[in-house]
Chain A
Amino acid sequence: MKTVLTINGQQVSLDIDTRVTLLDALRDHLGLYGSKKGCDHGQCGACTVIADGRRINSCLTLAAMHDGETIITVEGLAHGEALSALQQAFLGHDGMQCGYCTPGQLCSATAMLEEARAGRASQVTDDLTTPAPLSRAEITERMSGNLCRCGCYSGIVAAIEEVAAE
């Protein structure tokens, strides 16, 4: 199956089996090992990437379904050598231990801040018609699709809070 993707600004052409998930295309066919396979069933968020501006679980979608789309993985978050504000904040707040969930956390948080800026509501938003500021409760709810087995949640939330406040 011929599939063209723009990944972190670079156009790539793939000829892959229909069964290849977006996650496997990134890791096994393109050598982008940043996106992680935690559960392979949509239950952990380690595989989170940003497709056409939206965070998704790359393990539960076929690469072929994304033909023509723009994908951003953790490898595409920094600007050259300069880390993104979120990456820097994760370092500053010890937002990781083993680091396995971190690429997914970073992609997810990057897109989540955009969603919040666009006025999207969450389950804990009191009033659906007025966008809420990103409180701690809002951040944890909006990030609930990313699990961390090391339990670094307090560092992760603190890092996101810092960037959200900027």
Chain B
Amino acid sequence: MRPFDYQRPAAPEAACQGMSASPHAAYIGGGTNLIDLMKLGVMAPDLLVDVNRLGFDTIKDLDDGVEIGATVRNSDLADDPRIRVRWPVLSRALLAGASAQLRNKATTAGNLLQRTRCPYFQDIDVPCNKRKPGSGCAALGGELRNHAILGTSEHCVAAHPSDMAVAMQALDAQVVIRDADGQTRTMGLDHFYRTPGDTPHIETRLNPADLITGVRLPAPLGDRQVYRKVRDRASYAFALVSAAAVMQLKEGRIEYAAIAFGGLGTQPWRDPKVDALLTGARPSEALFEKAGDVLLRSAELREGLEFKKPLAHRVLKAVLTEATQ
């Protein structure tokens, strides 16, 4: 690791100030992704601003939703009685991710901002546009497996690795952000991430010193919630394909549907056309098959990733079947 300074401010003002002091500063939450990448030489901040003691470690009740503090641990979020009862898809997604040890450290904000698990991104000896803009992409022409088939460009095909963010995408989460001037704004998670295009190193719409202070969940619009994750081993592995479904049924019809996907997209993926197709329809195998076709209509099945198409179809069908039973 390169040498760095370390600050542990007690108030958000000081945290943002610290971040503004150096263009190479980084916030640190649980550190489970950042320290890993610093050891690999992929990230080399010269200043770490520790956000763990800023007071963002609780889950607050809102009118009809909750605001999850930025440093609430993934394990505590999954365990919260409100989340378990009203937003179980989020508990399920969290519990399907990483290990108990990692979830005990990982924070809400850090999880949203974790970097891709593309192996070439993590190997500083090969070209990677995300790590070193303009250097090329070693994954294209290399081995593809945990990469994306939706939202990709010829500059980057890396998938977003988070499980938590997939559930939050299906739950219409809003990210709460404090900027360097102390102004607070919220941004829908659907607008938070950017597709890679020709700037894959820019992953979100955050500005440099922006501090995530929390994530708001509105009241859930469906009480049928399912998370399903498929991976190379049964636990402690990232998703090859995952899906979160939030649905409401009324008189045999789908009254509400919000479906989000992991492992498929360059960001936690949600497609309004899939939700629209399902809404108002009667559940059937044919409908679920059609939903898969709509989801994958523009999928780029690069060599090595062909398996994701049938797998995505099957995962989607399984999730929709379970949610509408």
Contact = CB atoms under 8 A, between A and B. Distances in A.
B52 interface: yes
Interface of A: 1, 17-19, 21, 40-42, 45, 48, 54-57, 60-62, 64-65, 67, 108, 111-112, 115, 120-123, 125, 128-129, 140-142, 144-146
B43 to A, nearest CB: 13
Interface of chain B: mostly helix, strand, loop or mixed: mixed
Nearest to B48: A18
Contact of B78 (A19, A62, A111, A121): A121
Nearest to A49: B101
Given A54-B75, A122-B100, 5 more contacts: A54-B73, A54-B104, A55-B104, A57-B102, A65-B8
Interface string B269-286: 000000000000000000
Interface string B73-115: 1010011000011001001100110111110110000000000
5 A-B pairs with least C-beta separation? A145-B99, A144-B235, A18-B6, A144-B236, A123-B95
A108 B101 contact: yes
Contact of B102 (A122, A141, A145): A145
Contacts of B36: 41-42, 60
B144 interface: no
A41 B42 CA distance: 13
Interface stretch (B25-33, B123-131, B191-199, B295-303): B25-33
Given A55-B101, A129-B85, A61 B48 contact: no
Interface of B: 1, 3-6, 8, 28, 30-32, 35-36, 39, 48, 50, 52, 73, 75, 78-79, 84-85, 88, 91-92, 95-96, 98-102, 104-105, 234-236
Contact of A65 (B50, B91, B234): B50
B99 A45 contact: yes
Contacts of A141: 234-235
A146 B91 CA distance: 22
Contacts of B39: 40-41
A54 B74 CA distance: 12
Given A45-B99, A48-B101, A123 B35 contact: no
A123 B228 CA distance: 10
A57 B32 contact: yes
B52 A65 contact: yes
B292 to A, nearest CB: 25
B323 to A, nearest CB: 16
A42 B79 contact: no
Contacts of A60: 30-32, 35-36, 102, 105
Contact of B35 (A21, A108, A120): A21
21 contacts: A18-B48, A19-B4, A48-B101, A56-B104, A60-B32, A64-B6, A65-B8, A65-B31, A121-B79, A121-B91, A121-B95, A123-B95, A123-B235, A128-B84, A128-B91, A140-B235, A144-B100, A144-B234, A145-B98, A145-B100, A145-B102
B318 to A, nearest CB: 16
A53 B32 CA distance: 18
A17 B39 CA distance: 15
Contacts of A125: 95
Contacts of B50: 65
Contacts of A61: 30-32, 35, 105
Contacts of A140: 235
A67 B8 CA distance: 10
Contacts of B31: 60-62, 65
A1 B28 CA distance: 17
A42 B91 contact: no
A42 B104 contact: no
Given A21-B35, A60-B36, A65 B3 contact: no
